[in-house]
Amino acid sequence: MSTRESIIHLADQLIRDQGYNAFSFYDIAKTLGIKNASIHYYFPGKTQLGIAVIKEQSRRFNVLKQAVADKRPAEQLRAFAHTYAATRQEERICIVGSLASDLHTLDTETGQSLALFAEEVIEWLETVLEQGKKLGDFTFAVPTRTKALLIITNLLGGLQLTRLTQPQDFYTIAETIIQELSPVQIKENNT
Amino acid sequence: MSTRESIIHLADQLIRDQGYNAFSFYDIAKTLGIKNASIHYYFPGKTQLGIAVIKEQSRRFNVLKQAVADKRPAEQLRAFAHTYAATRQEERICIVGSLASDLHTLDTETGQSLALFAEEVIEWLETVLEQGKKLGDFTFAVPTRTKALLIITNLLGGLQLTRLTQPQDFYTIAETIIQELSPVQIKENNT
DNA sequence: TTTTCTACCTACTAACAGGTAGGTATATTT
DNA sequence: AAATATACCTACCTGTTAGTAGGTAGAAAA
């Protein structure tokens, strides 16, 4: 991994661990064994680094998208949820949740970049849900976009809320999302 | 409102607008027309102010709880969701979402205070859902705690995600949560 | 061989952060 | 009237922040 890539990777980890306003150039520099000023060689300012992090997340999201494009909707959704589960295991949150929380402290470019990425994810999820519905793999009684919003907020919010409860709560949420979409639900009575 | 109360109120607004690490004592001081040092008179440090904000949120939550205690579960839930809708209109997010995002930068006391508050909310929601189920007002096929987690993450995450889309998306989410609990669902086909 | 480029570096700055020490005007209590 | 408590204040300190100016060793290109 190049220095540039390492900077982006570390910035991403720090943003999703501590938040955009809590990480500093020095945090990255000390880990990489370079000096603060060297980060400015690659990124003029924090804004540009932030945008690079969002773009990299978008790139990785598109890699996943392509990788699962031929699979069944349920499996696509499962792969998507799995990335959140991995994030949960790192005790981190998703980039959208992290930066949306700090939105009013970011400049407009960063905000626009983030909004673009969020819309990308929502739209992909809509197509997966539509596919699933057509194939009879998914059942849901609300408009597709609404269902997509509900699922994403469950995952995004789940990462944050379950930092305060237990990791297991997150996995329960993720499993439930998928279970609830199945047309035939084997109901167990948990009393 | 006393100076002390004003400080807490402003800190709360700032935390839920910009995030814990983005607000400064000076932000509060300038608005109140006092000096930085005067805030330290009421709160020894940022930590204590943060905890005071959480405790105030908890107090207000309990006021709401009492105010709706005698009402039907659906109306209790609606009142709860309404507080999030009001927050959405201010372009703010909820305290749990804001501070959970910054959790790894807070000291343990603050984190514990927050976790306590989050559990309070989850447990209240569980009892409301249980009540609703017993009365036949609510139907849901997952364990009560799971349903509570799903609803809270929808609201918490909805406030954050819809900062990037449109306010209407949040109201859709909030409405859908309540609609989906109703035992008889009048299904419309939105194509 | 000389020039240019890459990938850093040292050294610095201005702004801002939370926090502290100690002072003071006013109101309240004794 | 004297003592005390309240609710601030001025002045200062130390640490950290993003960011800048200009230098340099080594590799690549001309």
pLDDT tens digits, A95-126: 999 999 999 999 999 999 999 999 999 999 99
Average pLDDT on B47-71 reads 98
User: For the structural domain made of B53-181, what CATH number should be given?
Assistant: 1.10.357.10
Asked whether the predicted pLDDT for residue A80 surpasses 70, the reply is yes
Give the pLDDT band of residue A20 (cuts 50, 70, 90).
very high
> What pLDDT is recorded for position A191?
46
> What pLDDT is recorded for position B61?
98
Q: Taking the mean position of all CA atoms in its chain, how far away is CA B50? A: 15
Give the pLDDT band of residue B191 (cuts 50, 70, 90).
very low
Q: What angle (nearest 5°) sits at the alpha carbon of residue A86, between those of residues A136 and B117? A: 95
By Cβ distance, the residue of A104, A153, A162 closest to B154 is A153
Give the pLDDT band of residue B164 (cuts 50, 70, 90).
very high
Rg (CA), chain B: 18
CATH 1.10.357.10 fits A51-181, yes or no: yes
Asked whether the predicted pLDDT for residue B188 surpasses 90, the reply is no
Asked whether the predicted pLDDT for residue B101 surpasses 50, the reply is yes
Separation between Cα atoms, residue A126 and residue A146, nearest integer Å: 9
Residue A178's CB is within 10 A of a number of other CB atoms, namely: 16
Strand C atom within 7 Å of B46 CB: yes
Structure tokens at B40: 């330290």
Give the pLDDT band of residue B59 (cuts 50, 70, 90).
very high
> What pLDDT is recorded for position A185?
56
Average pLDDT on A158-181 reads 97
Separation between Cα atoms, residue B166 and residue B81, nearest integer Å: 18
Separation between Cα atoms, residue A104 and residue A107, nearest integer Å: 8
Asked whether the predicted pLDDT for residue A4 surpasses 80, the reply is yes
Instruction: Name the residue ranges covered by the structural domains of chain B.
Output: 53-181
> What pLDDT is recorded for position B183?
86
Q: How many helices (H) and strands (E) does chain A have?
A: 9, 0
131-160 in chain B: CB under 8 A from chain A: 141-143, 146, 149-150, 152-158, 160
Q: How much is the mean pLDDT over chain A? A: 95
Structure tokens at A5: 């890539």
Place of tokens 């305060």: A164
User: How do residues B141-161 score in pLDDT, each as one tens digit?
Assistant: 999 999 999 999 999 999 999
Q: What is the DSSP letter of B142?
A: S
Question: B103 with A163: CB under 8 angstroms?
Answer: yes
The separation, in Å, between residue A25 CA and nucleotide D25 C1' comes to: 24
Show the DSSP H helices in B19-107 as ranges. 25-32, 36-42, 46-68, 73-89, 95-101
10-49 in chain B: CB under 8 A from chain A: 17-19, 21-22
B19: left (phi over 0), alpha (psi -120 to 50) or beta: left
Q: What is the DSSP letter of A102?
A: T
Quote the crossing angle between the two packed helices B108-135 and B144-161, to the nearest 10°: 120
Least CA distance to A153: which residue of chain B?
Answer: B157
Question: How far separated are the first and last CA of chain B, in Å rounded?
Answer: 52
Of A16-30, B127-141, B176-190, minimum mean pLDDT range: B176-190
Q: Give contacts of A164 with chain B, Cβ < 8 Å.
A: 96, 100, 103, 111, 114-115, 118-119
Asked whether the predicted pLDDT for residue A178 surpasses 80, the reply is yes
In DSSP notation, A34-63 reads: --HHHHHHH-SSHHHHHHHHHHHHHHHHHH
Question: A32 with A6: CB under 8 angstroms?
Answer: yes
Closest CA to A101 of B112, B13, B19, B1: B19
